[in-house]
Chains A and B, each alone.
Chain A
Amino acid sequence: MSRARAVVLWLLFLAACLGSVAHTRFTADMSAFLPRSPTPQQQLLVDQLKEGALSRLLLIGIEGADGPTRARLSRDLATRLRASASFVAVRNGEAEALERDREILFRYRYLLSPAVTAERFGVAGLHAAIANSIDLLASPAGLMLKGLLPRDPTGEMLEVVSALDSGDSPASLDGVWASRDGQRAILMARTAAGGSATDAQEAAIADVRTAFAAAAAGVGDARIVLSGSPVFSVDARATIRAEVTRLSLISSVAIVSLLLLVYRSFTALGLGLLPVLSGALAGIAAVGAGFGNVHGLTVGFGTTLIGEAVDYSIYYFVQSGAATPDDCTWRQRFWPTIRLGVLTSVCGFASLLFSGFPGLAQLGLYSIAGLVVAAAVTRFVLPHLRPAGFRIRDLSALGTALRPVIRGLGRLRRAVLFLALAATAVLVVNRNDLWNPGLSGLSPVPQAAQDLDMKLRGDLGAPDLRYLVVVNAADRENALVASEAVALHLQPLVDAGVIAGFETPARFLPSQAAQRARQAALPDAATLTAALPVALAGLPLQPERLAPFLAEVEAARRLPLLTPETLAGSSLGLLVDSLLMERPAGWSALLPLRAVRAGSTLRDLDPQAIRSALAAAGQPGALFVDLLGESNRLYGAYLDEAVLLSLAGFAAIVILLAVALRSGRRLLRVLLPLVVTVLVVIAGLSLAGERLTLLHLVGMLLIVAVGSNYALFFAGDDAVVAPPTLASLLLANTATVVGFGALAFSPVSVLHALGVTVGPGAVLALVFSAILAGGRQP
């Protein structure tokens, strides 16, 4: 290729990449962790994480000061937040806030109470219900119920209210919710924005802090703590953003310093970085074009590319010495080895493309595009750009100095094989504790934040929404009708103690059909007036006392049906909203199930019992979902897939090398040090107490993919590596280790996992290659 054509093509390519990157959307939300092609159950998990009630729930704690001050701050903060458009509901346990709920429940009690049937309002039914209410007057609750008796002698309000109470309610201090130890006031706020709208959630969190600062002005020692999914996703994004900037900066500065130290020339540095920058640009453009967005984590992983792509220009400069663009020596002697190295790396990364874990797929595409472009720029463009007579400092002296070291290392051959055996033994002994069992191992949420969340949730008795029954229907009414059918078959499970209880949106928003049926079951005024004296026979209550009852039943018969609009703004509306979801294909109703408490732990539910209940309810479309199990299964699927992909990638690399090297012995010389490296690194991590996640597994693949670049240079039959080549390997390896090593210090667990595996792996791959090759030296 002529000089002009190569350079012009390269510039055009860069311009195209820049144009593409300018239109690329960068994200940093949890989408990198969610499956690309989910099952229906996983889809539900994804919906819950992205838009569900849990993803909108902000837990707020007020600490410091004294109890009454915290209660005042809680009220003040709640008032301010209720006025904010960022929140649809704010609850802090104030009695006044529940007043509206009580009004709605009382007004609509005859349409809400499942006890309302024609039998209950016949003579015998009325007698039994009223007798029960009179008995209740004798009980401690009587004081509260007495006032209601003339209006509600059948006790429908109690039927409805007892459904509202769902087990653990938060403790209360000075009229507002407080932690069990009373040292913290607690509020619950629901953001208007769903979990995937991170910007809006970030604004909502800022609103809370501003409102608290205004409320707490002048109260010196009160502070606010925040938790919940919105906080996690906002913090995770901020962490990933900060990390990506920090890591890129650290590894860039380190590599630039390294190159300057060795080259002592800004021209060489500038030229050396050109392939890296071209590669990074191409990588981002490729991911943007292939996925529609680029995740911050991808760019974070991408810092490793800086360290790897810079290798090619190092090889070129150091190995080609004073060669001119027309000199074919480097191209003939070294380029085939480097090309093979690039191809093995590409094989390794290519297997990631098939991952269902979007973060990994992006990493795969980014690295492939980046490496191929960096290598191509080194091979085809760099020779044309180097000024006439340019050469970097001769590093032969360094290479020559290294030769005896390599020879000395050769004596450690046995030691390496022994180390491999020891590592294998460690892995066999620790085999049961090697892996981190859950998706949490990938979570960017730090442990301290998870602990705070547990504490606040415990204080609130917030439901953990682990078990759900989900019914899908074309519209809301049918979703509610289906929920009612399911509820009818879940109730026997509650009575039998299989489950402790369940929620359903139809409890406070019955289907129109159910409401109409209840209205139809109520007798008209004449019938009820005639029935009452008979029903009251033997009871210490005169029919005249129940005149308000007659009026209320008559009103209920004509009451417009309860709609979502009726519930708007009440905490009942909030509850119903969180259990009813509009989806692209219709409506879903969620029925969270409560597990039976056994001591301090919750017993696992028997899925079979639930599934048979759903079948009996005639709702074959209803799903029983164990969200925790689902998220573990999701992680398990990622892990299984990662194992498969890593093995496939490894196999592809082996086949590629076998074809290229055309010699079993040389193939063995390349692979042996890499396999030993993987064993030693994993054993080392296990001994250091790291629990492996799928990112470590991917790291192992990358050790092979990246390490082969170094091993290949030692695999030649002459077994003598020229001094400049040795020097270039040392330099290139150091750059790669810096690139991956920087990730090891990241608090973001996925980045850390990759760095801590590949960083040491790259060093060991070079050292073990040298040692095992050194043994063959004369």
Chain B
Amino acid sequence: MTKALALLVLLCLALPARAAWDIEQLMHDLARNKGGKVRFVEKKYIALLDRPLVSSGELGYFPPDRLEKRTLLPKPDVMVLDRDTLSIERGKQKLSLRLADQPQALAFVDSIRGTLAGDRPALERSYALYLTGSEERWTLSLLPSDPRIAALVTRITIGGSRDRVRSVEYLQADGDRAVMTIEPLETK
């Protein structure tokens, strides 16, 4: 099995098609990512507020369906997305949402989880995809095609290198934006 895989990789490297790096190839690389945990810092620029809100914590992805966002600062909370249920836990408060009722959450789900999973059909259900840059430093833009999502998010920009996502930026319809930067955990 391992041998066959190695052979396949060699074959891929040898082929000239390798030069034509595209969305298909990026998705293929991303899909090979076995998941795990990373550190994130998120800055939210909200017009209502005088200064950006900064939060940080851990982001975990467990293919194919489970995404965990554990915010540690400024206040701990946990968001878990498991299949189609989004649950948010904050102190004693627990909130559980069915995604079909929540286009906002849907936008969030399909962008991050779809990207991490390299699930192009899932992404293309809600967004038009544009890829720029190189394999070493790529930028994938998601433009909502579903008007319900477009009413909230005008663009999601995901930056990364090879099979790693480095940043996610949400540009909201009201002009507010959130920028999340992602780094590997220092352990290992």
Chain A interface (Cβ within 8 Å of chain B)? 93, 95, 98, 134-144, 146, 149-150, 158, 161-162, 165, 167, 169-176, 495, 540-542, 545
Across-interface contacts of B84 in A (CB, < 8 A) = 171-173
A142 to B55, CA, bound (A): 12
Q: How far in angstroms is the closest Cβ of chain A from B54? A: 7
Q: Which chain B residue has the least Cβ–Cβ distance from A164?
A: B95
Q: Which of A135, A146, A158, A172 is within 8 Å of B98, CB to CB? A: A172
| Contact A137 to B46, CB < 8 A, known contacts A143-B104, A143-B152 | yes
In the complex the two chains form, is B90's CB within 8 Å of A146's CB?
no
Cβ of A49 to closest chain B Cβ, rounded Å: 31
* Complex contacts, B55 vs chain A, CB 8 Å: 138-139
Contact yes or no, B100 A137, CB < 8 A: no
- Besides A93-B100, A138-B44, 14 other A-B contacts (C-beta < 8 A): A95-B101, A135-B75, A137-B46, A137-B49, A138-B42, A138-B74, A139-B75, A140-B108, A162-B93, A162-B95, A165-B96, A171-B85, A540-B53, A545-B48
B88 at the interface (CB under 8 A from A): yes
Which residues of the other chain, A, contact B88 by a CB distance below 8 angstroms?
A: 139-141
In the complex, number of A-B residue pairs with CB atoms less than 8 Å apart: 91
4 closest cross-chain pairs (CB), A and B: A140-B79, A540-B50, A138-B55, A95-B101
**Distance between A181 CB and nearest chain B CB, rounded to angstroms:** 12
Inside 8 A of A138's CB, which chain B residues have their CB?
Answer: 42, 44, 53-55, 71, 74-75
B131 contacts the other chain (CB 8 A): no
Q: Type the 1/0 row for B151-182, where 1 means its CB is closer than 8 Å to any CB of A.
A: 01000000000000000000010001000000
**CB of B94 closer than 8 Å to a CB of A:** yes
Q: How many Å lie between the Cα of A545 and that of B48 in the bound state? A: 7
Q: Are B50 and A542 in contact (CB under 8 A)?
A: yes
- Pick the residue among A139, A150, A170 that contacts B77 (CB under 8 A): A139
User: Nearest Cβ distance between residue A502 and chain B, in whole angstroms?
Assistant: 15
Complex interface: chain A residues within 8 A of B188 (CB) = none
Question: Nearest chain-B residue to A132 (Cβ)?
Answer: B75
Contact: B104 with A144, CB < 8 Å? yes
**1/0 per position for B50-76, CB-CB distance to A under 8 A?**
110111000000000000010100110
Q: How far is the CA of A322 from the CA of B49 in the complex (A)?
A: 113
Name the A residues within 8 Å of B95 (CB-CB): 141, 161-162, 165
User: B99 an interface residue at 8 Å Cβ cutoff?
Assistant: yes
**A593–B179 Cα gap in the complex (Å)?**
43
Determine the distance from Cα of A93 to Cα of B85 in the docked complex, in whole angstroms: 14
Would you give the shortest CB distance from B3 to chain A, in whole angstroms?
Answer: 38
Cβ-neighbour of B44 out of A142, A167, A171 (below 8 A)? A142
Contact A139 B96 (CB under 8 A): no
Q: How far is the CA of A135 from the CA of B79 in the complex (A)?
A: 15
Of the candidates A95, A136, A143, A161, which one forms a contact with B100 in the assembled complex, judged by CB atoms under 8 Å apart?
A95
**A532: min CB distance to chain B, Å:** 15
A158 touches B93 (CB 8 A): yes
The smallest beta-carbon distance between B78 and chain A, in angstroms, is 9
Question: Is B90's CB under 8 angstroms from A136's CB?
Answer: yes
A139 touches B51 (CB 8 A): no
Residues of B within 8 A of A137 (CB): 44, 46, 49, 53
- A171 and B44 CA atoms in complex are apart in Å by 31
Question: Which of A146, A170, A173 contacts B176, CB < 8 Å?
Answer: A146
- Note all chain A residues with C-beta closer than 8 A to B93: 158, 162
Q: How many angstroms from the CA of A93 to the CA of B53 in the assembled complex? A: 35
Contact in complex: A169, B104 (CB < 8 Å): no
Per the bound structure, the CA–CA distance linking A98 and B46 in Å amounts to: 29
Instruction: State in angstroms the CA–CA spacing of A49 and B152 once bound together.
Output: 48
Least Cβ distance of B161 to chain A in Å?
Answer: 25
Q: Given that A137-B53, A138-B42, A140-B79 are contacting pairs, would A149 and B104 also be in contact in the complex, using a CB cutoff of 8 Å?
A: no
Residues in chain B near residue A135, CB distance under 8 A: 74-75
Give Cα distance in the complex from A540 to B84, angstroms. 35
Q: Across the interface, which residues of A come within 8 angstroms of B90, CB to CB?
A: 136, 139, 141
How far is B154's CA from A563's CA once the two chains are assembled, in angstroms? 42
B100 touches A162 (CB 8 A): no
How far is B108's CA from A162's CA once the two chains are assembled, in angstroms? Answer: 21
Could you tell me the distance between the alpha carbons of A702 and B98 in the complex, rounded to whole angstroms?
58
CB distance from A72 to the nearest CB of B (A): 14
Cβ-closest chain B residue relative to A182: B84
Give A161 to B102 CA distance when docked, in angstroms. 15
Nearest to B75 among chain A residues (CB) is A135
Closest Cβ–Cβ distance, residue B112 to chain A (whole Å): 11
Expressed in whole angstroms, the minimum distance between the Cβ of B67 and any Cβ of chain A is 10
**Contact (Cβ within 8 A) B49 A541:** yes
| Inter-chain contact B49/A540, CB cutoff 8 Å | yes
For A146, list chain B residues within 8 Å (CB).
Answer: 46, 48, 176
Determine whether the beta carbon of B104 is less than 8 Å from that of A171: no
A152 nearest CB across to chain B (Å):
13
CA distance A759 to B176 in the complex (A): 82
Give bound CA distance, A542 to B46, whole Å: 13
Residues from 113 to 151 in B contacting A, C-beta threshold 8 Å = none
- CB-CB nearest in chain A for B73: A138
Instruction: Tell me if B96 and A169 are in contact (CB < 8 A).
Output: yes
Report chain B residues within 8 Å CB of A158: 93
In the complex, what distance in Å separates the CA atom of A171 from the CA atom of B83?
A: 10
Selected contact of A541 from candidates B48, B69, B75, B101, CB within 8 Å? B48
How distant is the Cα of A167 from the Cα of B48 in the complex, in angstroms?
33
Q: How far is the CA of A149 from the CA of B49 in the complex (A)?
A: 11
**Bound complex: CA A144 to CA B42 (Å):** 17
Q: List 9 A-B contacts (CB under 8 A).
A: A138-B54, A139-B77, A140-B71, A140-B77, A140-B79, A143-B108, A161-B95, A165-B96, A172-B84
Closest-by-CB residue of B relative to A546 is B48
